[in-house]
């Protein structure tokens, strides 16, 4: 009864078993982050062992926070895009020291939280036109497809004007990914509960049997430690307040506001977590949860955090409440003790889940109102440029700009509100002045 009352299970049409399966599905779909983030930051000189522990803590505590406080089936982790920026642009490119970089991450989290807590971020969300919101969902779906298929070699860079081409169709990861996608589609049609999870587990077992690259070392348990080169509380906030670093903090904040906000809106739409006015249920709490998690990133010593689009794998598996997020959080906290297992699930086991979710998110096309031609096409501009530029914020910026200019030129100014115009101007200026990541 306590779980029922706290998480509104019946009201949202769910149950504990369904939520646990959804949580495990999301966890398996995004557990790759505890491998990718330490590797990327390690390239820039961050101690990988410390970053692994920090990444697990941020993902675990952040996901539990959003689950308990916002009752949302969304999981939080270290954002891959902001990880890349921290490692390759900030530390390697601008030669910023690691403590100062962590100070910048902390300040970004602080400003991000203030924007979220004061309602500015909710105001942005309320002024996000429906067409741009749907376009963001479509674009993220396409982006997921590109990431998943490229990661396992289904598509590859062609080196010609076509940009991409079919990879080695007979390669084991490619075949497993495509078969896995077909299995998920078939099982979902049969309404098999937890279909995505079962396919991930099945392909991992096959990989252990057949693929020599998927190895079980025999070591399962390892006590968590930040290691000798701990980054816990190693942040330099004073150094991050230097005039040369503040534009970086601003770029991180602006990117996080629109990237993470667009992701939360897309996941909420995918999971039918919108109220009668089209707003995210407990949206303010969800928005603040992921910004607070970036504060943890600076303290523990890793990259900025955000809600993961892989959360949509859990909503597709039936996740509707915060229990899903809490299960994900517990999974990441358990990973602290099972570091040797971090590399066990191969990427071709999770790729089918990401491809399936990406395909599901393309259904947002049907939500575009083509009777409003300017709005619908602006949504498509947003979607297409998210995947063409591999940047969610760039797509949103071009979608907003197209919408505002299109409405003015077509004489449809009455369908513009001041909030939309102000956001469009801010986004265009963000790029025009070279602050974009």
Q: What is the pLDDT of residues 22-34, one digit of tens each?
A: 999 889 888 878 8
Residue 222: band (very low, low, confident or very high) from pLDDT cuts 50, 70, 90: confident
Q: 280 forms bridges with which residues in the sheet?
A: 274
Render pLDDT for 361-377 as a digit per residue (tens, 0 to 9): 788 898 899 999 999 99
CA distance 226 to 206: 33
Say whether pLDDT at 269 is over 80: no
Q: Which of 26-35, 99-108, 133-142, 241-250 has the highest mean pLDDT?
A: 99-108
CA distance 405 to 418: 14
Domain locations in the chain as residue ranges: 9-220+239-433
| Tokens found for residue 309 | 């689009």
CA distance 54 to 41: 12
CB atoms within 10 A of CB 198: 16
In this predicted structure, which of 236-240, 306-310, 338-342 has the lowest mean pLDDT? 338-342
CA distance 324 to 67: 7
What does the pLDDT average to over 216-239? 86
What does the pLDDT average to over 213-223? 81
Q: Exposed, middle or buried: residue 148 (CB in 10 Å: 0-12, 13-18, 19+)? A: buried
Q: Rounded to two decimals, what is the model's pTM?
A: 0.72
What does the pLDDT average to over 187-216? 86
CA end-to-end span of the chain, whole Å? 47
Check residue 242 and give its pLDDT.
84
Render pLDDT for 382-434 as a digit per residue (tens, 0 to 9): 999 988 887 777 888 899 999 999 999 999 998 888 888 998 998 898 888 87
Say whether pLDDT at 97 is over 70: yes
Check residue 398 and give its pLDDT.
94
Q: What percent of the chain has pLDDT over 70?
A: 96
CA distance 323 to 71: 7
Strand 164-166, strand 76-78: pairing: unpaired
Say whether pLDDT at 1 is over 60: no
Check residue 29 and give its pLDDT.
80
Q: Which of 156-170, 188-202, 388-402 has the highest mean pLDDT?
A: 388-402
- Residue entry with tokens 């101007």: 425
Q: How far is CA 250 from CA 52, 142, 241, 359, in A?
A: 26, 28, 11, 34
CA distance 364 to 4: 31
What does the pLDDT average to over 317-333? 93
Say whether pLDDT at 437 is over 60: no
Q: Which of 3-7, 92-96, 191-195, 420-424 has the highest mean pLDDT?
A: 420-424
CB-CB contact of 334 with 382 (8 Å) = no
In this predicted structure, which of 241-255, 306-320, 386-400 has the lowest mean pLDDT? 241-255
3-state SS of the chain is CHHHHHHCCCCCCCCHHHHHHHHHHHHHHHCCHHHHHHHHHHHCCCCHHHHHHHHHHHHHHHHHHHHHHHCCCCCEEECHHHHHHHHHHHHHHCCCCHHHHHHHHHHHHHHHHHHHHCCHHHHHHHCCCHHHHHHHHHHHHHHHHHHHHHHHCCEEECCCCCCEEECCCCCHHHHHHHHHHHHHHHHHHCCCCCHHHHHHHHHHHHHHHHCCCCCCCCCCCCCCCCCCCCCCCCCCHHHHCCCCCHHHHHHHHHHHHHHHHHHHHHHHHHCCCECCCCCECCHHHHHHHHHHHHHHHHHHCCCCEEECCCHHHHHHCCCCCHHHHHHHHHHHHHHCCCHHHCCCCCHHHHHHHHHHHHHHHHHHHHHCCCCCHHHHHHHHHHHHHHHHHCCHHHHHHHHHHHHHHHHHHCCCHHHCCHHHHHHHHHHHHHHHCCCCC
258 or 379: whose pLDDT is higher?
379
- Residue entry with tokens 């909710």: 122
In this predicted structure, which of 17-21, 39-43, 266-270 has the lowest mean pLDDT? 266-270
Residue 251: band (very low, low, confident or very high) from pLDDT cuts 50, 70, 90: low
What does the pLDDT average to over 104-112? 89
Check residue 309 and give its pLDDT.
80
Check residue 343 and give its pLDDT.
63
Check residue 170 and give its pLDDT.
93
Q: What is the mean pLDDT of the chain?
A: 86
Q: What percent of the chain has pLDDT over 90?
A: 35
């Amino acid at each position: 009864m306590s779980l029922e009352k706290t998480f509104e299970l019946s009201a949202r049409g769910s149950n504990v078993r369904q939520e646990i399966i959804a949580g495990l599905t999301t966890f398996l779909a995004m557990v790759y982050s505890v491998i990718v983030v330490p590797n990327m930051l390690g390239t820039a000189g961050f101690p990988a062992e410390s970053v692994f522990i920090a990444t697990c803590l941020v993902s675990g505590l952040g996901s539990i926070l959003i689950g308990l406080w916002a009752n949302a089936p969304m999981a939080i982790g270290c954002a891959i895009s902001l990880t890349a920026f921290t490692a390759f642009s900030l530390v390697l490119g601008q030669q910023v020291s690691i403590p100062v970089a962590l100070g910048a991450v902390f300040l970004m989290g602080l400003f991000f939280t203030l924007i979220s807590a004061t309602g500015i971020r909710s105001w942005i969300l309320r002024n996000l036109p429906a067409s741009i919101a749907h376009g963001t969902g479509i674009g993220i779906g396409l982006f997921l497809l590109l990431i998943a298929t490229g990661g396992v070699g289904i598509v590859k860079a062609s080196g010609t004007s076509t940009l991409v081409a079919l990879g080695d169709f007979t390669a084991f990861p490619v075949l497993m990914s495509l078969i896995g996608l077909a299995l998920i589609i078939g099982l979902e049609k049969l309404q098999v509960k937890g279909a995505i999870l079962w396919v991930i587990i099945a392909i991992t077992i096959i990989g252990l049997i057949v693929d020599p690259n998927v190895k079980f070392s025999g070591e399962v348990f390892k006590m968590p430690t930040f290691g000798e080169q701990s980054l816990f509380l190693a942040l330099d906030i004073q150094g991050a307040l230097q005039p040369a670093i503040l534009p970086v903090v601003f770029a991180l904040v602006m990117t996080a506001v629109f990237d993470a906000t667009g992701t939360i809106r897309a996941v909420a739409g995918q999971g039918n977590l919108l109220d009668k006015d089209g707003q995210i249920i407990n949206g303010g709490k969800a928005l603040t949860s992921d910004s607070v998690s970036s504060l943890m990133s600076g303290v523990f010593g890793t990259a900025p955090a955000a809600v993961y689009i892989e959360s949509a794998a859990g909503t597709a598996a039936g996740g509707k409440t915060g229990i899903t997020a809490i299960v994900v959080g517990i999974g990441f906290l358990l990973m602290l003790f099972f570091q040797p297992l971090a590399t066990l699930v191969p990427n071709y086991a999770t790729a089918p889940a990401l491809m399936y979710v990406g395909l599901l998110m393309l259904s947002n096309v049907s939500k575009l109102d083509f009777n409003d031609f300017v709005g619908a096409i602006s949504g498509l501009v947003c979607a297409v440029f998210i995947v063409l530029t591999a940047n969610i914020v760039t797509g949103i910026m071009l979608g907003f700009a197209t919408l505002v200019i299109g409405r003015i030129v077509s004489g449809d100014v009455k369908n513009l509100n001041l909030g939309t115009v102000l956001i469009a101007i801010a986004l265009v200026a963000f790029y025009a002045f070279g602050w974009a990541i």
